């Protein structure tokens, strides 16, 4: 007489059969022949170069503005001292 459901399983009374795992492999194409991947990588690299040029231009502009700002501060300081 079982007081609980599956009472025989509570303390390892019955073992379940082992299940085998199957691994499904998908054949991969060689990366050398993948023209779409090469083209997309080229597009990304081109865009990266363009963005890097923009970053460099903005850094130069920022440095120029900082130097102009400091020059104007000195000029204003000299006027206030007089």
Higher pLDDT, 5 or 68: 68
Q: Give DSSP secondary structure letters for 10-78.
A: TTT-SPPPPPPP-----PPPPGGG-HHHHHHHHHHHHHHHHHHHHHHHHHHHHHHHHHHHHHHHHHHHH
In this predicted model, what pLDDT tens digit does every residue of 14-51 receive, in sequence order? 556 566 777 778 777 665 666 667 788 889 999 999 99
Mean pLDDT estimate for the chain? 80
Asked if residue 74 has pLDDT above 60, the reply is yes
- pLDDT at res. 27: 75
Q: Contact 56/50 with Cβ under 8 angstroms?
A: no
Alpha carbons 59 and 47: distance in angstroms, whole number: 18
Model confidence at 79, in pLDDT bands (50, 70, 90)?
Answer: confident
Locate tokens 């597009």: which residue? 43
């Amino acid at each position: 007489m079982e007081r609980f459901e599956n009472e025989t399983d509570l303390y390892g009374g019955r073992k379940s059969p082992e299940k085998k795992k199957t691994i499904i492999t998908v054949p991969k194409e060689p990366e050398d022949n993948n023209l779409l991947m090469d083209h997309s990588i080229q597009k990304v690299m081109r865009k990266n170069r363009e963005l890097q040029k923009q970053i460099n231009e903005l850094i130069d502009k920022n440095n120029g503005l900082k130097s102009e700002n400091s020059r104007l501060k000195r000029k204003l300081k000299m006027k206030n001292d007089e």
